[in-house]
């Protein structure tokens, strides 16, 4: 047993003892932590999915089929639809590509989903039909052209692919908006007195015109977009060899996409109107002949007696 003669020496010894005890405690704690890490590394991995860690609200995107289709539609504003891939979508949304496949399915489901959403926007933007076929067709054309210009990637896809141009891949209870838009547009012509054959051709001509106009606008193909270059080429051309080109060149170089669309639509509608009027005249002229032939083939009352 150790005895101390003075209170100062005793306090000094107790202080040193306290420091030694604290250092030893720290050393034991560090060793315990290292042992726990070794045990965690050597412990066998449990089967199944790891428990989901809690995350802050908004830290992960909320995925659904509609959310993915909306993001793909946004991408089709700046790039062709056939170039929008599952991998690109996954990068855009910060998720694994497998999740995109899980919610959408195949690439065809992605393409058809975007097109069905596009046709839905076009249909929902249209007013109800009034029975005035020319006014209704003009509204359909102008609204469709505006939305097509807003999504050039879709127009480029439709111009180069036949799949999903009209009919979409939808599940039970879902609406095929490509077919619904076709029904709305053809109803417009039928209400105006067009026959089924005339309506089919009129729809096709209108659809082709809208497609070519929207692609021209999206690709900046109108002459006015390159006016200076075109005018320079015409100015440099020979007057003797290209007199017609020299005469028309300036006016051609000033044609804008909107003016070309407006005038082209007017010519198309006037052609439809003349076509319908001619068909009505032919029907009126042939109706009396058909009635006379019918009366000639019917038995008379005397013969019945």
So what CATH class is 128-284?
mainly alpha
**What ranges do the domains of the chain cover?**
128-284
pLDDT at 3: 44
Q: What CA–CA distance (Å, rounded) separates 194 from 133?
A: 10
SS3 at position 164: coil
Contacts of 257 (CB under 8 A, 6+ apart): 213, 216, 217, 221, 222, 224, 225
- Cβ–Cβ under 8 Å, residues 167 and 176: yes
Burial group, residue 202, by CB count within 10 angstroms (0-12, 13-18, 19+): buried
- Cβ–Cβ under 8 Å, residues 206 and 268: yes
Q: What CA–CA distance (Å, rounded) separates 19 from 241?
A: 107
Q: Taking Cα atoms as reference points, which of 127, 154, 149 lies closest to residue 138?
A: 127
Per 3-state DSSP, what percentage of the chain is helix, strand, and coil (rounded to 5)? 70, 0, 30
| pLDDT one digit per residue (tens) for the chain, 305 residues | 444 444 444 444 444 444 444 554 455 455 555 545 544 444 455 554 445 444 444 444 588 999 999 999 999 999 999 999 999 999 999 999 999 999 999 999 999 999 999 999 999 999 999 999 999 999 999 999 999 999 999 999 999 999 999 999 999 999 999 999 999 999 999 999 999 999 999 999 999 999 999 999 988 999 999 999 999 999 999 999 999 999 999 999 999 999 999 999 999 999 999 999 998 888 777 766 656 666 666 665 555 54
Query: Can you list the alpha helix ranges (DSSP code H) found in 151-223?
Result: 152-160, 177-191, 196-218
SS3 at position 89: helix
- Cβ–Cβ under 8 Å, residues 86 and 109: no
């Amino acid at each position: 047993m150790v005895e101390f003669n003075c209170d100062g020496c005793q306090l000094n010894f107790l202080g040193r003892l306290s420091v030694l005890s604290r250092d030893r405690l720290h050393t034991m704690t560090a060793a315990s932590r290292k042992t726990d890490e070794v045990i965690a590394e050597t412990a066998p991995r449990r089967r199944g999915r790891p428990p989901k860690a809690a995350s802050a609200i908004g830290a992960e995107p909320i995925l659904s089929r509609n959310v993915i289709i909306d993001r793909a539609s946004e991408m089709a504003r700046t790039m062709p639809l056939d170039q929008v891939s599952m991998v690109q979508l996954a990068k855009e949304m910060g998720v694994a590509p497998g999740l995109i496949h899980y919610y959408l399915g195949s690439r065809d489901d992605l393409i058809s989903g975007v097109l069905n959403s596009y046709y839905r926007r076009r249909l929902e933007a249209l007013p109800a039909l009034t029975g005035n076929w020319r006014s209704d067709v003009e509204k359909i054309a102008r609204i469709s052209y505006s939305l097509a210009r807003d999504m050039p990637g879709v127009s480029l896809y439709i111009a180069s692919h036949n799949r999903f141009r009209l009919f979409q891949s939808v599940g039970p209870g879902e609406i095929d908006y490509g077919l619904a838009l076709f029904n709305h547009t053809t109803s417009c012509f039928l209400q105006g007195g067009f026959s089924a054959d005339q309506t089919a051709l009129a729809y096709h001509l209108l659809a082709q015109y809208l497609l070519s106009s929207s692609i021209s606008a999206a690709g900046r193909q109108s002459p006015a977009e390159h006016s200076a270059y075109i005018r320079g080429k015409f100015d440099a051309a020979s007057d003797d060899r290209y007199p017609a080109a020299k005469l028309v060149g300036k006016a051609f170089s000033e044609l804008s996409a909107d003016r070309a669309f407006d005038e082209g639509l007017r010519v198309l509608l006037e052609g439809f109107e003349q076509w319908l009027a001619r068909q009505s005249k032919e029907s009126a002229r042939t109706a009396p002949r058909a009635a006379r032939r019918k009366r000639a083939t019917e038995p008379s009352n005397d013969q019945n007696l």
